[in-house]
Structure 1
Amino acid sequence: MVSPRPSSQTDAAGQKASAPKPAGPGRPKDLSKRNAILEAAKRLFLIEGYDGVSMDQIAAEAGVSKLTVYSHFGDKETLFAAAVRAHCEQHLPALLFAPEPGTPLRERLLAIAQAFFEMASAPEAIRIHRLLCTPQLAQSPLARLFWDVGPQRLHEEFAGLLRSRAEAGELDLADADTAARQFFAVLKGEPYALLMLGYPLPGKAETRAHLEASVDMFLRAYARRGG
């Protein structure tokens, strides 16, 4: 942004020049405030759900004005979508889905499986999922918004990884999208269904065994055999 001229200068008529006007809508946003708003939104949405959180609460939690929140995100739905996307990217960063052919395929799939299950099985995530499945929200634009910026984004990145590994000769699959859906469905399986019904989270050893068995089953179905 070009700096405004100093207001202390005088014009040709000897009159003091007027102070510069504030920058218009094109002025860059304060990234630190944006990040503070996102972090506050993630915390509050995960704890209180969508309807239980107001923009006033988010502003107070972030230490900014409500006007600043609206300036960065426009409305509550846009902020919710950004918070969901940021939450997913925090737990499942794009780097996890980089081709990196030097990393053994099973090791990469286990890393994704572990990160995904930890995120999906967190108490706050279960709470959000339950809320989105209620009659009030199940058919709402908010549910579709959540799907598009969360699960769908994850699906697309993982399907891209599968395609790259298939091109490298490690996988034999005709439809990466179908394989990606199957992978995450198997990962969630019975443990996730029980969590949704209020059962306790399995222990670390049991969870690890479930994830390893799921990855191994996936590889038995799609890993390219020699010959």
Structure 2
Amino acid sequence: MTDRLPTTPSGPGRPKDPAKRSAILQAAKCLFLAHGYEGSSMDAIAAEAGVSKLTVYSHFNDKETLFAAAVASKCQEELPPLFFEQDPKVPLDQVLTEVGRRFHLLINSPESVAMHRLMVAQGTHNPELSRLFFEAGPQRILDATTQLLARADRNGQLRVAQPQRAAEHFLSMIKGACHLRLLIGCCEAPKGEDAEEHVADVVQLFLRAYRPD
């Protein structure tokens, strides 16, 4: 059963306040991670954001929509769309290194780890919520990386017959085995020089695998 208000007649209304939307998203991210999806009501999110429940529903139709928006917002904070738009003047290895660095930081952040654990717990009895999470976060990052690699292929910088598969290879290598150990609490997130070396190794391996010659 969804957390939803009764349908009301639509009308032009007043323009929505972007500051309130931002506050709602921030509150949602905090509460979903702290209390889980089922444990975070729209009333609690409204109170945390300092707005009315009606205001929350004026920006987001239901809790599922708000959850998906919160996931997308977190991903965009760490990997904004411009990160995937390659400047022809910037070498491809630098672009991939920066994307890899930011993605590595995102997936190993405490918020991301908590969200992944939450989705594993939800997946068995709420697969629709897991689908929303994947489409709002991981799928968007995969699509953007795919487009980046497809452009590199068209520009002759790489030879990538299947950009989506190559994007999956790249992102999976950036995650590495350490990410699974982190999810199950067997290690700490790599930082500093260790993280930089890992990303650099992956980028060089990837470029050798897909070089045009």
Provide TM-score, normalisation by structure 2: 0.90
Cα distance in 2, alignment partners of residues 125 and 158 from structure 1: 19
Cα distance in 2, alignment partners of residues 45 and 208 from structure 1: 31
Match of 2:199 in 1: 211
Which one of the candidate residues 131, 152, 155 is aligned to 1:165? Answer: 152
The residue type paired with residue 68 of structure 1 is T
The residue type paired with residue 207 of structure 1 is A
Q: CA deviation at 1:46?
A: 2.8
Cα distance in 2, alignment partners of residues 117 and 53 from structure 1: 28
Cα distance in 1, alignment partners of residues 26 and 198 from structure 2: 32
- Say which SS state the counterpart of residue 133 (structure 1) adopts: helix
Match of 2:106 in 1: 119
Match of 1:94 in 2: 81
Which one of the candidate residues 44, 48, 52 is aligned to 1:61? Answer: 48
Residue 146 of structure 2 is aligned to residue 152 of structure 1: no
- Say which SS state the counterpart of residue 102 (structure 1) adopts: coil
Q: CA deviation at 1:202?
A: 2.3
- 1:45-56 matched pairs, under 5 angstroms: 45-56=32-43
The residue type paired with residue 11 of structure 2 is P
Match of 2:188 in 1: 200
Question: After superposition, what is the alpha-carbon deviation per residue over 1:116-153, rounded to whole angstroms, capped at 9, x for unaligned?
Answer: 1111101121111112112x434510000110111111
Q: CA deviation at 1:43?
A: 2.2
Q: CA deviation at 1:89?
A: 0.8
- Say which SS state the counterpart of residue 83 (structure 2) adopts: helix
Cα distance in 2, alignment partners of residues 122 and 145 from structure 1: 20
- What is the root-mean-square deviation of aligned Cα atoms in Å? 1.6
Match of 2:3 in 1: none
Provide TM-score, normalisation by structure 1: 0.84
Please identify the structure whose Cα radius of gyration is greater: 1
Deviates more, 1:39-48 or 1:150-159: 39-48
Aligned residues: 202
Which one of the candidate residues 186, 190, 193 is aligned to 2:177? Answer: 190
Q: CA deviation at 1:48?
A: 2.8
- Say which SS state the counterpart of residue 90 (structure 1) adopts: helix
Structure 1 stretches lacking a partner, 5+ long? 1-23
Cα distance in 2, alignment partners of residues 69 and 131 from structure 1: 23
Structure 1 runs of 4+ off > 4 angstroms?
none
Question: After superposition, what is the alpha-carbon deviation per residue over 1:80-120, rounded to whole angstroms, capped at 9, x for unaligned?
Answer: 00111111111100001113211111111010111111111
Cα distance in 2, alignment partners of residues 111 and 99 from structure 1: 11
Residue 99 of structure 2 is aligned to residue 132 of structure 1: no
